[in-house]
Chains A and B, each alone.
Chain A
Amino acid sequence: MLRFIVRRLLVTIPTILVVITITWVLIKLAPGNFYSGEKRIPPAIEQIIREKYGLDKPWYQQYAKTMWPIVSRLDFGTSLRYSGQSVNTIIKRSLPVSAAVGILAYLLALIVGITVGSIAALKQNSKWDYGSMALAMLGISVPNFVLGPILVLIFSLGLYWLPPSRWGGFPSRNLILPVLTLSAIYMAYIARLTRAGMLEVLRSDYIRTARAKGLSERDVVIHHALRGGLMPVISYTGPALAFLLTGTVVVEKIFALPGLGNYFIQASLNRDEPLIIGIVAFIAMTLLLMNLLVDIAYAYLDPRVRYQ
């Protein structure tokens, strides 16, 4: 097990470096730059700017200049747009916002999704089943940028129950709508996954054996079926987190939250190279780590995999 973890960690580091490099290359290759936008600047001024930011140096020097601080002390430099602020500071500041929304959304999705999916599987073909699966289908079909504003329309502008936007710290009522909006599609997907997984397990031979042993249906489900039935949900967590990330970006835009996603979009539009690279690297790192954790969890839970 330990060897497995170490090996994965070793693969992670070069992977992140590759991701950073690709991003860096893309930025460098792109036409245009961060300082001029649409305007034309007199060449003299442009020259000064380029010198200041080292843009006149050969590409390998620029690459080294960017990469060395990163590799040696995880220093991603200073933002080009938000003058004076180091990228690390910006990330530290915006991360809790995104993390709060994202984690809460996923937890909500797990709790609601697994419950609904299990009930649907146990009461297969009943009203519960059809009803919840129809809702789930709706959940995966309505885009979050449609759901969000509609929720705002109803609960903020219509009923005045909840604030429509802005960050209110943690915890606050401002969290409710963003979390709901983000969570919806995963709730739906996990419900479907759980139902399918449980149905499949409930059909399997070892469940038949458990029943033949005289166990009550409740015991069969809780002690025997649940473990196997939830496996698909666990392996889904990996890709789910990746999607969650992109969902967060949209939700932050809709609700004007100062999170990582919002900064990322702004940085992309502003061509703020250090900030872009910093956020991309951070996200890649997080994703890879989370995937590793998921794989470990999966191996731990499935004894067949554990002893390899």
Chain B
Amino acid sequence: MSTDKNTDQPELIHIGPEMAVAEADVMPEETGAFVQGTSLWRDAWRRLLKNKLAVFGLVVVVIITIASIVGPTLIQRVFGFTPDYIPSHDSALTQSFPPFTGPNGEFSWAHPMGTDNAGRDQLARVLQGGQISLFVGILSTLVSLLIGVSYGAIAGYAGGRVDNVMMRIVDVLYSLPYVIVVIVLLSMFRSQTPRGQLILLFIAIGSISWLTMARIVRGQVLSLKNQEFVLAARATGVSNYRIIFRHLVPNTLGPVIVYATLTIPQIMLTEAFLSFLGFGVQAPLASWGSLASDGIQNIAIFPWQLIFPGVTMALTLFSLNFLGDGLRDALDPQMRTV
């Protein structure tokens, strides 16, 4: 390859040891559309749409999200039920009705998912539970993303001993009974307000999940940092901070997005089981986990109290997982580890 700057040798693209080709001669039309013009993202989006299951997942998730957000309000407008509405004035209504049943056993549209022991409409409760569960899921994922990406990017970029130490910490943390300690934390510091408990939950759950994200980002950064665009940036005096966050991190977006989408269901499961055990969301707020916890008391007589929140949650997680898988296939089919 010629590196003589004085002659106007065109840039050489190295194909094989013996066959160098002149880049300047490459015109898109002449090479029979060998070089496509679409961006990486559009390509990925196209691939994603081809994946029926992923699209199904996306659609379901969107539907459930929208239903959770506007549902409770709608129900309030239409039926007058709020998730906390306890028809205490009528003792006949203060009991658990099966789905689509009214006070006297007749068919009624009023409660498609039945009611709970205090007569509260289950549909409204499940949808409101969805609000909290999704909220915690997404926000905690964001928290873990922030921590994980920063940590991983710094470790990967710094390399050497700093990287070693940082990753050893991750290794150690990984093998710890993190969740156990979190349970202790949550039980010790039960907040007085439901809001407070939520915030505590975010922090607790977010702090569990950043580890793998850190590892992934570090791996990506490690392989990216020796590429030429980084050298170029450094040569022109760009600060390390900018290099990490403006140049390297955007290039790790692919795996990060995929992993984030797969983290959301994991986090939702964690919140759900914490609430199920009683350490998560407090009454009167409800999440799917706490609803299941309430529901399991009466499983023998009123099974719908558990089944509806449970099935809704399962459906949501199912869809999120498909979506995550689809995203992974779309963004990089090579990345499949599971």
Contact = CB atoms under 8 A, between A and B. Distances in A.
B176 A284 contact: yes
A196 B181 contact: no
Interface in A1-52: 11, 15, 19, 22-23, 26-27, 29-31
A27 B188 contact: yes
A283 B175 contact: no
A171 B13 CA distance: 69
Contacts of A143: 269, 272-273, 276, 289, 292, 310, 313-314, 317
Contact of A245 (B180, B322, B338): B180
Interface string B166-182: 00000010111111110
B92 interface: no
Given A22-B181, A138-B318, A196 B338 contact: yes
Contact of B338 (A23, A157, A192, A253): A192
A225 interface: no
B144 interface: no
Given A153-B303, A245-B180, A265-B277, A26 B188 contact: yes
B273 A280 contact: no
Interface in A251-271: 253-254, 264-265, 268-269, 271
A141 B315 CA distance: 7
A189 B338 contact: yes
A146 B187 contact: no
A307 to B, nearest CB: 21
* B interface majority secondary structure: helix
Given A145-B292, A152-B299, A23 B181 contact: yes
B314 A280 contact: no
B321 A254 contact: no
A137 B318 contact: yes
A96 interface: no
B188 A288 contact: no
Contact of B306 (A19, A23, A149): A149
A131 interface: no
Interface string B303-321: 1001100110111011001
13 contacts: A19-B176, A27-B184, A143-B310, A145-B310, A193-B338, A200-B336, A232-B337, A242-B175, A246-B180, A264-B183, A268-B187, A287-B175, A288-B175
Given A141-B265, A146-B306, 20 more contacts: A22-B181, A26-B189, A140-B321, A143-B269, A143-B273, A145-B292, A149-B306, A150-B310, A153-B299, A242-B178, A245-B179, A246-B179, A246-B273, A268-B187, A269-B187, A280-B181, A283-B177, A287-B176, A288-B175, A288-B176
